[in-house]
Amino acid sequence: MKKISLFTAVFAALFIVGYTPSATADASDALDWARFREAVVQWEFDLLQDNQTTLREVLQKMPKGADLHVHLSGAVTTENLIHWGAEDGLCVDTITFVAASAPCQPGQVPMATTQSDPTLYKNVLAAWSMEGFRGSLLEAHQHFFDTFGKFGAVLSDARTDDSIADVLSTAGKNHQTYVELMQGFNSSQVGSVAKKYILPGDPWNEAYLLEKRAQIIADPLFAATLNATKTALKSSLSSARQLLGCETSIPDPGCQVDTRFILSANRTKDRGYVFAQWVYAYELAQTAPEVVGVNLVSPEEHPNSLLYYDDEMLALDVLRRFNQKDPARRPVRISLHAGELIPAVLPSTPEGQRHLTFHIRHAVELAHAERIGHGADVLGETEGDGVWDLLRDMRAGDVMVEICLTSNAILLGKEGKSHPVNTYVKKHVPVALSTDDEGVFRRNITDEYLRALTVQNLHYRTLKNMVRTSLEHSFLPGASLWKVPSRYAEVTDACADDEPGNPSPSADCAQLLTNSERAAKQWKLEADFKSFEESLVF
């Protein structure tokens, strides 16, 4: 990479921001210096627009905070999935490329064959990911969701530690410090008992749902599943750190990445099944502090998702309010997939197409979601007072959107001007970049930032604030470093006399950083930003 001289950088920065050296207080000088550094980084990015290889190298070194929208099963590197399948003695169908347990049936061969047959290896890789996919938008949509069933047999409970280690390693190598992983945690077992207690046509209101909650919790399978999952999760996290070599002299970068989990209910089932999964999620979070929130997964356009959408929003709000009434219970946070729709995947009827007009609004207003996953169809949300009112409400309520640029481009055809990320930014709705399913998409968080720069034309300062937003809206415990939520102009009073990121904070500030995991990570992020920016200045 061509090195920028200090003189040239200064000249460029002065030209860009009209900087005049300040003779005022130290805090003002620090702010001027920060703005100067940001201008130099932006100039560097502009210089490298025609050299994306080098631009990507620079972006990889940029601090990126948290990834808040990650499906564990879809995030694992596909090469590792193939290797694990071979190592575990699985079989694979030579036509459909679906993995299965041994013994191999007619039409199947041992997965180990992929290690000596390059053609089979290439075909499995293509079937289990979007690698080299060529097809229409709807074909890509279908191929993506089909991949999970093809490699699903590989991801047994015995491979959870490998999966976590793989995702954390990728995050660490791309200079992230925190991820929230979506996973089912055996909730399907609890979901399946819902039919014993919840019948079609039953009333769907708060009293009824709380009654059913008690019945589901009392089912013998509930406690057994809860206890087994809690034990397995703790073991998986410990094993993942061992795989990363975290206690050795050469730890993997993933050792510097903290993780929490979001229990995700399956929206392709009926409303009772989903409700039971969420009941289980709230109780698992009480005994497993690593579980911090709930979500919904699977295609948003699935018939059951459309049929039961509002019922599920209501049910989640019932559980939310029940949990909040008892101060002894751990908080359980809400992030919901919403707005991952396009007209082509919905029924062509007026009722089918109407779902484009309200999913985000109802996730925010009915379920009180704190974060929205995707939010890609927001500009079509015409219900109520329309999209501009919805965006004002999201801003006022500090509702954050998990932006998945690659996913939205490949599966929804939304990128460039058709993607709403710039509208969210313009309307001051908090947003942060996420990977969604980086293993299947064959991308990582650095690729998302590259796309944000080169396709969405976002500036460095905007990206920097997105990174800050990722930690600000994480479900980590503790107070924020920032005085005003999602506004990064002023730190909280405890650290008001400190330069953010200073390795020797004042006593009050140090106490905040000790008591708050969130603030501690935010403080480190500011130090990392300064180091990154100064590496391009000097």
DSSP state of 115: G
Helix axes 460-472 and 517-537, enclosed angle (nearest 10): 160
Instruction: Label residue 188 exposed, middle or buried (CB < 10 Å: 0-12, 13-18, 19+).
Output: middle
- DSSP tag of 4: P
Contact 69, 373 (CB under 8 A): yes
Other C-beta atoms closer than 10 Å to the C-beta of 23 total 7
Under 8 Å between Cβ of 405 and 390: no
CA angle 62–66–70, rounded 5-degree value: 120
Q: What is the pLDDT of residue 12?
A: 52
Neighbours of 181 (CB within 10 A): 22
Q: Identify the pLDDT of residue 19.
A: 45
CA-based nearest residue to 171, from 158, 180, 161, 162: 180
Domains and CATH numbers, the chain: 79-151 (no CATH), 157-472 (3.20.20.140)
Supply the pLDDT for residue 156: 86
Q: In this predicted structure, what is the pLDDT of residue 34?
A: 85
Q: How far apart are CA 83 and CA 155, in angstroms?
A: 12
Q: How buried is residue 15: exposed, middle or buried, by Cβ count under 10 Å (0-12/13-18/19+)?
A: exposed
Q: From first to last of the 538 residues of the chain, give the pLDDT tens digit.
A: 444 444 444 545 454 444 444 434 455 666 688 889 999 999 999 999 999 999 999 999 999 999 999 999 999 999 999 999 999 999 999 999 999 999 999 999 999 999 999 999 999 999 999 999 999 999 999 999 999 999 999 998 889 999 999 999 999 999 999 999 999 999 999 999 999 999 999 999 999 999 999 999 999 999 999 999 999 999 999 999 999 999 999 999 999 999 999 999 999 999 999 999 999 999 999 999 999 999 999 999 999 999 999 999 999 999 999 999 999 999 999 999 999 999 999 999 999 999 999 999 999 999 999 999 999 999 999 999 999 999 999 999 999 999 999 999 999 999 999 999 999 999 999 999 999 999 999 999 999 999 999 999 999 999 999 999 999 999 999 999 999 999 999 999 999 999 999 999 999 999 999 999 999 999 999 999 999 999 998 8
Distance (Å, rounded) from C-alpha 388 to C-alpha 427? 9
Pairwise CA distance, residues 100 & 84, whole Å: 13
What is the per-residue DSSP string for 343-374?
A: GGGS-SSHHHHGGGGTHHHHHHHTS--SEEEE
Phi, psi (degrees; rounded to nearest 5) at 331:
-70, 145
Q: How far is CA 482 from CA 94, 264, 333, 361, 489, in A?
A: 55, 30, 20, 27, 8
What Å distances lie between residue 255 and 159, 518, 520, CA to CA? 18, 18, 17
Closest CA to 219 of 300, 258, 276: 276
Q: What are phi and psi of 266, to 5 degrees?
A: -95, 110
List of E strands, 62-158: 66-71, 91-93, 99-100, 108-110
| Identity of residue 177 | T
- The Cα–Cα gap between 197 and 185 comes to 22
Any bridge partners for residue 263, and if so which? 183, 294
C-alpha torsion 87→93→96→101, nearest 10: -60
Say what the pLDDT of residue 354 is.
97
Q: Which residues of 217-239 are buried (b: 16+ CB within 10 A; e: fewer)?
A: bebeebeebbeebbebbeebbeb
Q: Name residue, tokens 């990834």.
A: 67
| Closest C-alpha to 357, from 383, 389, 394 | 383
Residue 103 preceded by cis peptide, ω within 30: yes
Residue whose entry in the numeric block shows the structure tokens 């199947």 = 108
How far apart, in whole angstroms, are the C-alpha atoms of residue 40 and residue 52?
A: 18
Is residue 426 exposed (0-12), middle (13-18) or buried (19+ Cβ within 10 Å)?
A: exposed
Which DSSP string do the residues of 418-439 spell out, in sequence order? Answer: GSTHHHHHHTT--EEE--BSHH
Amino acid at 291: V
Residue among 229, 71, 228 nearest 151 (CA): 71
Rounded to whole angstroms, the Cα distance separating 513 from 522 reads 9
| Structure-token pair, residue 395 | 């801003």
Its sign, for the CA torsion 350, 146, 184, 407, is negative
The per-residue pLDDT for 26 is 59
List the one residue out of 255, 257, 321, 259 whose CA is nearest residue 292: 259
Name residue 400's beta-bridge partners.
Answer: 371
